[in-house]
Structure 1
Amino acid sequence: MAIRDTSAQDIPVGHGSDRGRPLRKWIWPGVAVLMVLAGIGLVARGWLSSARSFDAARVRIAEVKQGDLVRDISADGRVIAANSPTLYAISSGTVTLKVVAGDVVKQGQELAVIDSPELRSKLAQEQATLAGLEAEADRASLNATLARASARKVTDQARIDQSAAQRDLDRYQRGYDGGVIPQVDLARAQDSVKKSDITLQHALQDAGLQSQGADLDARNKRQLAERQRAVVSEVQRQVDALTLRAPFDGQVGQVQATQYTNVAANAPILGVVDLSKFELEIKVPESFARDLVIGTPAQLTSGSGQPFPGEISAVSPEVVSGEVAARIRFTDRQPPGLRQSQRMSARVLLDTRKNVLKVERGPFLEQSGGRYAYVMEGDTAVRRPVELGVSSLGEVEVKSGLKPGERVVVSGADQFGDEPRVRIN
């Protein structure tokens, strides 16, 4: 009986290099699959961490930098005449024009004449009243002279009577001392002296009162005449103003009146332009209006590129279409051959901030009141609170919330809404 062994269960085994060959052929495919899964995971993580995604071409990104922030305003302006008054009719009447628009005139030259019979008649009446009051003033002065003369006559007569009574008293006194004159005659002479003294005293007092009264009447008459003279001077000034004259050397501007027509009182007749003094009118954004003060230095540049110093001379309080009008005058000299409505560029220097954080200015300033900004972290924009300072036309100061080198979405963030994180493709 034969005994069976295990030879039927044995399997031939090859060398060691042959055993690892099936495992190695799956290593690289597995690595590739892991890399694809990792990429898909990163993309999925980015998509999950960002609520929305936007195209990078629709936004503008700027880098936060550190340096000097120059606050200035650059604008193109229009040259206007600094002095261009309009002459008005002081009274109604018929106007006669002596010049036409564009004429060069000299100071004091007649430009127009208004014929006002009413005003001229009023002048004649006031002059006649003045003549009557002056005559009354002269008469009052003459009456004062006569009153003083009459008082002087009475006073002189009283002095003579007082002297005569004193001589009689002296004579009676000598006669009484010699025993020739009785005492009653001496007493009568003494009474006469006292009476003459009282008469002289009253005469002097009456003379002073009469002189004061006459002077007062004369002064009142003179004051009435002076008042009327002032009225005549005013009416005469109005009559003289019927002839419109050039206030300075210049050129006739717009003529509002028509030749030989009747104009109303205070109606505009024509304008005169001073060609020797010009200013530049510019429009600045409303946000810069509060920084403009009269006297702020500016630099004006003509078409040739030559700079001319200037300063702010006026700032309009009215805001029109988000802009404020301001005027700049030349402080040293103005370009030769300057004309009205000529275009010039102006640069107004407000101030300079040294070594500050700054970023490019953009519409993000108006979003959320400038309290938030979208900061780039890789390809994701994260909404972050920031504190901004002063701004210029091209840059804005960063006080806190940002660091140098960080990138900020300065334009196009309005499409993000208030999302905390968005993806920029």
Structure 2
Amino acid sequence: MIRDTSAQDRPVTTTAPAPRLRRWALPAGGALLVLLLIAFAARGWLAGSQSIDSSRVRIAEVTRGDLVRDISGEGRVIAANSPTLYAIASGVVTLHVVAGDVVKKGQPLAEIDSPELRSKLAQEQTTLASMEAEASRANLDATLTRAQSRKLLDQARIEQIAAERDLQRYQTGYEGGAVPQIDVARAEDEVKKAQIGVAQANRDLSLQGQGAGLDARNKRLLADRQKAVVAEVQRQVDLLTIRSPFDGQVGQVQVQQRSSVALNGPVLSVVDLSVFEVEIKVPESFARDLAIGMPARLTSGSGEPYPGEVSAVSPEVVNGEVVARIRFSDKQPPGLRQNQRLSARVLLDTRKNVLMVERGPFVDQGGGRYAYVMDGSSARRTPIELGASSLSQVEVLGGLKEGDKVVVSGSDLFNEEPQVTLN
């Protein structure tokens, strides 16, 4: 018999067709997810032009209070008085001290042997002696001249008296008829001549006295000038012995024993250990507000504060900083040493009851004319006006109110967008 395919057939169980709802569930879910993504992207686009991670920025709140403008930093202790002593002349130096020696005021520290200067002193002293002698001689000549002129005046007066006596005798004889009139007239001429001689002698006495006085005064002035020269050279010779200007300690010695030093060359320095100052470096932005006399507070290693005041401010800016000095107002910490570190704080001023916010890079971005203010999860670019600033706070003059939250750091990531979303 012929075989058919019935032995190869298998019964197949048929299932019912899936409901319509389950057939469209998966495509509908995918479409809903796509719509959600599109909605989220649209919301981000509407909320801001870009989205930034909030961990990359720092936000501070606008508060109201007292803004204390001060400058704080580490200061270096320096001696307020530490002059370097220089050689008054070239020569060979003999040192009497070494670095670190404690010295008293007026104590000899070193001596310079300068034969040239000492020889100059001897020459000037000899010249002074000669001029003193010339001045004395001029005074003596003036005295002799005045004496001679007075002698001539006295002789003229005697001659006048004799002529007047002769005239009187001739007049008496003429009245008695014993003397002719011509003799009387001649006697009168002699009297007039004697009077003229007295007047001339009197004028000569005045003129001769003035001339002799001028000569003597000129000689005396020359002698006084030479005396001043000698005093100056003597002062330089005295300065060949270098003495301590105050009680202190020898600092750096810049020459060797019995070595030659040039004119105005440094020899050694002396440090006054009784008066110290603190040197601080102030940022250039605060330099215009810093002035001499401002109050300061210095803190030693033990934490004890000491009052002070700004004593000097450098007129130049170096590497973006200005050097200032602070001196102790009352007492200074015991046991201070040069180059020791102290904490310094300079009080510039205090502004009562002002709006302020934490200072950050946003102050320098855009010249402090705008800031990003938080509005929910978005940061809006808002125009503002800033005032005085301290190291940690900045005064708000306009554009913000108390309680506003401002992006104080990290706003450079916003690329000056008008609104940014913070995730």
TM norm structure 1: 0.89
Aligned letter for 1:392?
Answer: S
Q: Tell me the distance in 2 between the aligned counterparts of 1:358 and 1:225.
A: 76
Alignment-derived partner of residue 193 in structure 2: 195
Q: Structure 2 CA distance, aligned partners of 1:47 and 1:307? A: 56
Query: How far apart, in 2, do the equivalents of 1:140 and 1:317 lie?
Result: 58
Alignment match, 1:27: none
Per mean C-alpha deviation after superposition, the further-off stretch among 45-54 and 329-338 is 45-54
The CA distance in 1 between the partners of 2:410 and 2:254, in whole Å, is: 52
Residue matched to 1:263: 261
Tell me the secondary structure at the aligned position of residue 320 of structure 1: coil
Residue 305 of structure 1 corresponds to which residue in structure 2? 303
What is the DSSP-based 3-state SS (H/G/I as helix, E as strand, rest coil) of the residue aligned with 2:342? strand
CA contact (8 A) 2:284 2:321 kept: yes
Q: Report the equivalent of 1:160.
A: 158
Deviation digits for residues 41-69 of structure 1 (CA, Å, limit 9, x no counterpart): 35531245323222222211111111111
Structure 2: gaps (5+ residues): 1-27
CA distance in 1, matches of 2:119, 2:130: 17
Q: Are the counterparts in 1 of residues 81 and 275 from structure 2 also a CA contact under 8 Å?
A: yes
Does residue 286 of structure 2 align to residue 249 of structure 1? no
CA distance in 1: counterparts of 2:277 and 2:60, whole angstroms = 38
CA deviation after TM superposition for structure 1 residue 236, in Å: 1.2
Q: Give the match for residue 271 of structure 2.
A: 273
Pairing 1:287–2:285 present: yes
* Partner residue in 2 for 1:23: none
What's the % identity of the aligned pairs?
71
- Equivalent in the alignment of 1:4: none
Q: Tell me how far 1:417 sits from its aligned partner.
A: 2.1
Aligned-partner residue type, residue 144 of structure 1: A
Q: How does 1:181-220 map to 2 (within 5 A)?
A: 181-220=179-218
Which amino acid in 2 is paired with 1:307?
Answer: P
Q: Which of 83, 103, 122 is the aligned partner of 2:120?
A: 122
- Deviation string, structure 1 residues 20-59 (Cα, Å, up to 9, x no partner): xxxxxxxxxx9xx999967963553124532322222221
1:378-389 correspondence to structure 2 within 5 Å: 378-389=376-387
Match among 348, 351, 359 for residue 350 of structure 1: 348
CA distance in 2, matches of 1:413, 1:99: 63
Taking structure 2 as the reference length, the TM-score comes to 0.89
Q: In the aligned structure 1, how far is the partner of 2:212 from the partner of 2:319? A: 73
Aligned mates of 1:321, 1:206 — CA distance in 2 = 80
Aligned length: 397
Which secondary structure does the structure 1 equivalent of 2:150 belong to?
A: helix
Q: Which residue in 2 is equivalent to 1:137?
A: 135
Cα distance, 1:189 vs. partner? 1.2
Conserved? CA contact 2:44–2:51, under 8 Å: no
Paired letter, 2:160: Q
Which deviates the most, 77-86 or 371-380?
Answer: 371-380
Q: Distance in 2 between matches of 1:234 and 1:417?
A: 73
Contact persistence 2:63–2:403 (CA under 8 A): yes
Residue type of the alignment partner of 2:120: K
1:326 and 2:324 correspond: yes
* Rounded Cα–Cα distance in structure 2 between residues aligned with 1:386 and 1:301: 37
1:77-88 map, 5 Å:
77-88=75-86
Residue 381 of structure 2 aligns with an amino acid whose one-letter code is R
Residues 38 and 405 of structure 1, relative CA distance in 2, 3 Å threshold: farther
Q: Which amino acid aligns with 1:79?
A: V
Q: Secondary structure in 2 aligned to 1:317?
A: coil
Q: Structure 2 CA distance, aligned partners of 1:307 and 1:166?
A: 103
Q: In the alignment, what sits opposite 2:61? A: 63
Q: Is the partner of 1:247 in helix, strand or coil?
A: coil
Q: Which stretch has the larger CA shift, 40-49 or 148-157? A: 40-49
Map Cα deviations across residues 168-208 of structure 1 (whole Å, 9 max, x no partner).
11111111112221111111111111111111111111111
Pairwise CA RMSD of aligned residues?
2.2
SS of the aligned residue for 2:316 comes to: strand
Counterpart of 2:418 (choices 417, 420, 425) is 420
SS at match of 1:419: coil
CA contact (8 A) 2:380 2:418 kept: yes
- Work out the CA distance in 2 between the residues paired with 1:416 and 1:190: 127
User: Of residues 387, 399, 404 in structure 2, which corresponds to 1:401?
Assistant: 399
Q: Hey, what's the Cα distance between the residues in 1 that align with 2:384 and 2:357?
A: 12
Task: Return the alpha-carbon distance in structure 2 between the equivalents of residues 117 and 294 of structure 1.
Answer: 47
2:338 corresponds to which of 325, 337, 340: 340
Matched, 1:296 2:288: no
Cα distance, 1:142 vs structure 2 = 0.6
Determine whether 1:369 maps to 2:367.
yes
Which of 237, 240, 246 does residue 239 from structure 1 map onto?
Answer: 237
Counterpart for residue 24 of structure 1: none
CA offsets 1:144-173 (integer angstroms, 9 cap, x no match):
011011111111111111111111111111
User: Which deviates more, 395-404 or 315-324?
Assistant: 315-324
Secondary structure of 1:113's counterpart equals strand
- Structure-2 separation of matches of 1:78 and 1:207: 78
Instruction: Give the structure 1 partner of residue 100 of structure 2.
Output: 102
Give distance in 1, aligned partners of 2:408 and 2:174.
Answer: 133
Deviation string 1:285-312 (CA, Å, 9 cap, x unpaired) is 1111111111111122222222222111
Q: Which moved more, 1:153-162 or 1:40-49?
A: 40-49
Residues 53-103 of structure 1: per-residue CA shift (max 9 Å, x gap): 222222111111111111111122111111111111111111111111111
Question: What CA distance in whole angstroms lies between the structure 2 residues aligned with 1:39 and 1:415?
Answer: 25
| Other-structure match for 1:76 | 74
2:221 corresponds in structure 1 to 223
Code of the aligned partner of 2:60:
A
Q: Which amino acid aligns with 2:286?
A: F
